[in-house]
Amino acid sequence: MSHNPHKDFFKNVHEVVQLIPPGRVTTYGAIAAYLGLKSSARMVGWALNEAKHQSHIPAHRVVNRQGLLTGKQHFSVSLSMEERLRQERVQVINNQIQQFEKVFWSPEELEVVTE
DNA sequence: CCAGTGACGGCTA
DNA sequence: TTAGCCGCCACTG
């Protein structure tokens, strides 16, 4: 059994991302903080990079702190990050999520739901 | 092994 | 308010 800490972290990221409701988005930092590694937001991006080949993980619902689609380069041209979000009625203009505060979802909300 | 690179974000000037 | 710095750490050449 190889207990690689970062592998577990990646797996946890995948699980959290799958819980983001359609039509909502969260941030790299919010996921990192929820998993107890507040200063490792960059690693969330790495984890999503691996998730790229797993279509059931909605990586397009993760944006940066400002609501910008900084990870758009990692999505196919045929179905871009922006298009995936639009399909869920999330407004995007110039890579910027509109009404970001309203669309933002935090993993912290899970505490309420699971109780 | 070492240096450079990032799907980030907090802090400082 | 904006721009730059730097801590973070897995991965690559």
For residue A35, how many other CB atoms are within 10 A of its CB?
A: 19
Note the CA–C1' distance, A69 to C5, in angstroms: 23
What confidence score (pLDDT) does residue A81 get?
96
Note the CA–C1' distance, A43 to B5, in angstroms: 13
> Is residue A114 very low, low, confident or very high in pLDDT (cuts 50, 70, 90)?
low
Strand B contact with A51 (CB < 7 A): yes
Strand B contact with A87 (CB < 7 A): no
Note the CA–C1' distance, A39 to B10, in angstroms: 9
Mean pLDDT of chain A: 92
> Is residue A7 very low, low, confident or very high in pLDDT (cuts 50, 70, 90)?
confident
In the three-class reduction of DSSP (H, G, I as helix; E, B as strand; rest coil), residue A24 is classed as coil
Q: Strand A62-63 vs strand A92-93: parallel, antiparallel, or unpaired?
A: unpaired
Q: What is the pLDDT of residues A34-81, one digit of tens each?
A: 999 999 999 999 999 988 888 899 999 999 999 999 999 999 989 999
What confidence score (pLDDT) does residue A103 get?
96
Strand B contact with A13 (CB < 7 A): no
